[in-house]
A and B are shown apart, each in its own frame.
Chain A
Amino acid sequence: MSAAVTVWVILLALVALFSWRLGALGTRSEERRHAAAVARRFGLPAGAVDQAFVRRVARRQRFVQTGVLLGLIVTTFVDAWLVPLYAGLALGAVADQLATPRLPPDTPRVAHATDARLRAYVPEWLLVAAAAAAACGPALAVLWAVAPTTEPRALHPEISTIETVALALASLGGLAVSLGLARFVVRRPQAAGSPADLAVDDAFRAQAVRDALHITAVVSLATCFVLGLKETEIGGSLRHVGGMLPVVLLLGIPAAGILHEFTAGPKHWRRRLGRETATG
């Protein structure tokens, strides 16, 4: 093993260890307050905040922090905007779902009587918005390909035609990865021993799905901005369209996030699945 690789391994191990400890640093009362805030945001009843829930929140926090920190390190060394950071966030959330302990075989269990799909966990408009954001990159690439051009065309020769196509595909790839991770989370078996357990798991699944959608947001934004550099090569009125798309995305993505919070998006799962698990 070369010295550089050894340094990397040690560095990553330290970061993982640090982030793991970070999640456990808070005092018990702070952890409980944080868990209560999480429960309120998810629309869980106050009674859901027991010791198991506090531990569940702390565990998720550790996984997400580890993912974000690892993503941050990769972001420092790889020129990929903040994509690794958000990928780390999403993968941390998925890893947290994978770490959900199994129930002993002789334990009573409960399950949803209806087929809980992606739309049960996040509002449909959020999925449509994610698809629209992912379509912006390909739209810019098509615009650049079909619109009348200014002369000279190669104002940004560093972005070749092949790279343009690759960026457009990367935008769609971001959506595919997001939806793939989200579906993976939603389709995993739920091990719940009571309606309250099932509700808590639903709430964390919904959060993991939202975290997975962050990948689409950041990949779409990155590809759209890079492709937006070619907007100067577009002639005629379509040039304004090409110039506006990255701006629309830059404003639209935070707006979608805010709208999601204000329309009780984190509690969406409860409207769709909560009747079955109503615990108070």
Chain B
Amino acid sequence: MIGYDPRSPVPPYEQVRAQLARQVQAGELTPGTRLPTVRRLAGDLGLAVNTVARAYRELERDGLVVTRGRNGTVVAAGPDESVALDAAADYAARVRGLGLSTERALELVRGVLEASDPGPPRPAAG
């Protein structure tokens, strides 16, 4: 379910975007789930069509939903983990070749991941 509060200081498109994004990331909206049409959601929430369309566009840009023409907008499948698995296999082969221990190899990966972590999501600007 999506709520819209006209008295909130958060812009309407961001209210829609943030709620849908949270539900997709939390798994409440599973991959393949069809979202309401832009027109329908705009009508239900009493918003302009362009407002909802902007929220959907941003969700699509973030890879959370995909638009499939006449089939509407659906929740995108999760990230393709096979690419990451291939990279991990390559890395494992390299560290074995270098004679590093498993603990040290994991420590190195953890350090790199933590250094590249963008941190908690920043509040979106209006």
Contacts and interface: CB of A to CB of B under 8 A. Distances in A.
A118 to B, nearest CB: 13
Interface residues of B, number: 24
Contact of B6 (A106, A114, A189): A106
B25 interface: no
Given A105-B6, A111-B41, A277 B1 contact: yes
Contacts of B54: none
A191 interface: yes
A243 interface: no
B46 interface: yes
B40 A187 contact: yes
B43 A113 contact: no
A198 interface: yes
Contact of B3 (A105, A110, A115, A116): A110
Given A187-B40, A277-B1, A109 B46 contact: yes
A113 B20 CA distance: 7
B29 interface: yes
Interface stretch (B31-39, B81-89, B103-111, B117-125): B31-39
Contacts of B29: 113-114
A106 B7 CA distance: 7
- The A interface, classified by DSSP as helix, strand, loop or mixed, is loop
B35 A114 contact: yes
A225 to B, nearest CB: 40
A113 B4 contact: no
B62 interface: no
Nearest to A103: B46
B18 interface: no
A108 interface: yes
Interface of A: 103, 105-116, 187, 189-192, 195, 198, 276-277
Interface of B: 1-7, 19-20, 23, 28-29, 33-37, 40-41, 43-46, 72
Given A105-B46, A110-B4, A113-B36, 6 more contacts: A110-B1, A111-B4, A113-B1, A114-B33, A116-B36, A277-B1
26 contacts: A103-B46, A106-B6, A107-B6, A108-B4, A108-B5, A108-B7, A109-B4, A110-B1, A110-B2, A110-B3, A111-B3, A111-B4, A111-B41, A111-B44, A112-B1, A113-B29, A113-B35, A114-B29, A114-B33, A114-B34, A114-B36, A115-B34, A115-B36, A189-B43, A190-B44, A195-B1
